[in-house]
C-alpha cells in the first residue's frame, strides 16, 4: 500500500474519532445541563433566604451546602471538555466562578439537546423515500440532508461557545496570570542565582584540582632545575617543566571552554554543538535543523542544557551514545536529547534541576521521560525570540521618571 492511501485512512479514522467524541461530549453536556438546571432552580428557590447571609454565623452555610455539588459538577464539566473537546482550563476554579459557570452553562446544554435532536430527524427524512414513509417524495431527502448539515454545524458552533464560556468564566483572570508570572520569575531568578553559584564552585574546583596542581608542579620542577648543579639533570627538569606547562595550558583552555565557549559567539550554535560533540567522551550525534541563528540568550541556554544533559548521560546513565535534535516549529525552539542509558533519572536531582533552571531562565520548559531501563529523553522547549529586556534606569532614578524622561527625549529629538 502506498503512503497516500494510508494517510487518507488515518485522516478518516481521526475525523470519525473526533466526530464521535464531539457527539458524546454534546450528549453528556445535555445530561449535565439537566443537573445544572436543577441546581439553578434550587438556588432560585432559596433566594428568599438570601437576607440571612447578612448574619455572620449563617455565611458559612452556603459554601457548606452548595460547595460539594458545585465542585463535583465543575469537575465533571472540566473532564468532559478535556476528554471530548480537548479543551484544558487551568485553575484556580473557585466556588463563585464555578457557580457562575454552571448557571450560565445549562442553557448551552439545552441548546445542545435541540441541535442533536435535529440530526436523527434529518436522517429519518433521508431514509423515508426508501420505504420508511410511504408516499413521500424523494425531494424530502434534500430537507433531511439540510437538517443533518445544520446539526453538524450547530455542534461545531456549540463547541466553540463551550470553549469561550469555560475560558471566560473558569479560566484565570489577568490578575491570576500576572501573579503566576511573578511567581515564575521569582523562582527563575532564584534558580539562576543558585546555578551561577554552583558554576562558580565548579570552576573553583577545576582550577584548584587541575590547573593549580599543574602550576605547583611546574614551580617545583623549575626550582629543582635552578638549584641543581648537574646541567643534564637541569635540562631534563626543564623539559619536564615545559611538559607540565603545556598540560596546564590545555587544562586552562578546557576550563575556559566549559565556562563559555567563544565558538558560540563567533560561529553560532550549530558549530558550538559540533565542537561539543568532538569533545564528548560519548558518541554524540547532532541533528540540527534550525534555519536561522536563535537569540544569543536562547543559544547559550541550549548549548549549556545540551552539555549538561550529555554530562549526566555519561556520568550517571551508563549510556553508550547520545542523540541531540534541535529544531523550530511555530516560533518554539525544541531541543531533544536522547541517550540509551539505564533510565530512571530523577528530575529533582541536582543535574536535571539545574538544567531545568537554566531553561526556565529564558521562559522555557523541560520535560524528562526516563522509564526504568531507558531510554532517557529530555525535551526542552524555548521561545526562539524571547522578549527584549528594557534597559535599567540610572541608579537612584525612579522607573516612572526615567520612562518619562526617555519619552520626552524621544519626542524632542529631530
Q: For the range 118-122, what are the long-range contacts, defined as Cβ-Cβ under 8 Å and sequence gap of 24 or more? A: 118/147, 118/148, 118/150, 118/151, 118/154, 119/147, 119/148, 119/151, 119/152, 121/147, 122/146, 122/147, 122/148, 122/149, 122/150, 122/151
Band of pLDDT at residue 95, cut at 50, 70 and 90 = confident
Q: Structure pTM?
A: 0.49
Judge whether residue 412 has pLDDT over 60.
no
Residue 28 confidence (pLDDT): 87
d(CA 240, CA 222): 9
Q: Is 122 exposed, middle or buried (CB count within 10 Å of its CB: 0-12, 13-18, 19+)?
A: buried
Residue 403 confidence (pLDDT): 35
Residue 331 confidence (pLDDT): 79
Residue 399 confidence (pLDDT): 38
pLDDT top residue among 372 and 2 = 372
**375 prior amide bond cis, ω within 30:** yes
Residue 395 confidence (pLDDT): 42
* Count, residues in the chain: 414
- State the sign of the Cα–Cα–Cα–Cα dihedral 30, 34, 36, 37: positive
**35-57: average pLDDT:** 71
Portion of the chain with pLDDT greater than 90, in percent: 0
Location of C-alpha cell 426508501: 130
**3-20: average pLDDT:** 69
Closest among 101, 233, 225 to 167, alpha carbons compared: 101
Closest among 151, 153, 158, 156 to 126, alpha carbons compared: 151
Judge whether residue 381 has pLDDT over 80.
yes
**81-93: average pLDDT:** 80
Domains and CATH numbers, the chain: 17-172 (no CATH), 180-259 (no CATH), 263-383 (3.30.565.10)
Band of pLDDT at residue 405, cut at 50, 70 and 90 = very low
**396-409: average pLDDT:** 38
Band of pLDDT at residue 93, cut at 50, 70 and 90 = confident
Question: How confident is the model over 187-243, as pLDDT tens digits?
Answer: 667 666 666 666 677 777 767 777 777 788 878 878 887 787 778 887 887 888 888
Q: Is 199 exposed, middle or buried (CB count within 10 Å of its CB: 0-12, 13-18, 19+)?
A: middle
Other beta carbons within 10 Å of 343: 18
Judge whether residue 170 has pLDDT over 50.
yes
pLDDT top residue among 305 and 409 = 305
Question: How confident is the model over 323-343, as pLDDT tens digits?
Answer: 899 888 877 888 998 888 887
Amino acid at each position: 500500500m502506498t503512503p497516500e492511501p494510508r494517510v487518507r485512512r488515518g485522516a478518516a479514522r481521526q475525523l470519525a474519532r473526533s466526530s464521535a467524541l464531539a457527539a458524546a461530549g454534546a450528549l453528556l453536556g445535555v445530561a449535565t445541563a439537566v443537573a445544572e438546571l436543577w441546581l439553578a432552580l434550587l438556588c432560585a428557590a432559596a433566594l428568599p433566604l438570601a437576607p440571612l447571609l447578612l448574619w455572620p454565623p449563617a455565611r458559612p452555610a452556603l459554601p457548606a451546602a452548595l460547595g460539594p455539588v458545585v465542585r463535583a459538577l465543575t469537575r465533571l464539566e472540566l473532564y468532559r471538555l478535556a476528554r471530548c473537546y480537548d479543551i484544558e482550563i487551568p485553575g484556580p476554579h473557585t466556588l463563585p466562578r464555578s457557580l457562575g459557570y454552571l448557571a450560565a452553562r445549562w442553557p448551552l446544554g439545552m441548546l445542545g439537546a435541540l441541535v442533536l435532536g435535529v440530526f436523527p430527524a434529518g436522517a429519518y427524512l433521508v431514509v423515508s423515500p426508501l420505504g420508511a414513509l410511504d408516499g413521500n417524495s424523494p425531494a424530502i431527502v434534500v430537507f433531511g440532508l439540510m437538517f443533518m448539515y445544520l446539526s453538524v454545524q450547530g455542534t461545531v458552533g456549540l463547541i466553540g461557545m463551550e470553549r469561550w464560556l469555560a475560558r471566560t468564566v473558569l479560566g484565570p483572570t489577568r490578575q491570576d496570570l500576572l501573579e503566576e508570572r511573578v511567581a515564575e520569575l521569582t523562582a527563575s531568578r532564584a534558580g539562576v542565582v543558585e546555578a551561577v553559584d554552583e558554576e562558580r564552585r565548579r570552576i573553583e574546583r577545576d582550577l584548584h584540582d587541575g590547573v593549580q596542581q599543574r602550576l605547583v608542579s611546574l614551580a617545583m620542577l623549575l626550582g629543582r632545575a635552578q638549584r641543581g648543579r648537574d646541567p643534564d639533570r637541569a635540562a631534563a627538569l626543564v623539559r619536564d617543566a615545559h611538559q607540565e606547562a603545556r598540560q596546564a595550558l590545555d587544562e586552562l583552555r578546557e576550563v575556559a571552554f566549559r565556562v563559555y565557549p567563544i565558538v558560540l559567539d563567533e560561529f553560532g550554535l550549530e558549530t558550538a554543538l559540533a565542537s561539543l560533540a568532538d569533545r564528548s567522551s560519548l558518541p554524540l550525534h547532532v541533528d540540527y535543523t534550525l534555519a536561522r541563528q536563535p537569540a544569543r540568550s536562547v543559544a547559550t541556554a541550549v548549548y549549556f542544557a545540551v552539555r549538561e544533559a550529555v554530562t549526566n548521560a555519561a556520568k550517571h546513565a551508563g549510556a553508550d551514545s547520545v542523540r541531540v535534535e534541535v529544531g523550530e516549529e511555530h516560533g518554539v525552539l525544541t531541543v531533544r536529547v536522547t541517550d540509551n542509558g539505564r533510565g530512571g533519572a530523577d528530575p529533582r536531582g541536582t543535574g536535571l534541576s539545574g538544567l531545568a533552571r537554566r531553561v526556565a531562565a529564558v521562559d522555557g520548559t523541560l520535560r524528562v521521560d526516563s522509564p526504568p531501563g531507558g531510554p532517557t529523553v529530555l525535551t526542552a522547549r524555548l521561545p526562539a525570540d524571547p522578549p527584549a529586556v528594557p534597559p535599567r534606569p540610572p541608579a537612584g532614578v525612579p522607573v516612572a521618571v526615567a520612562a518619562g524622561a526617555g519619552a520626552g527625549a524621544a519626542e524632542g529629538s529631530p
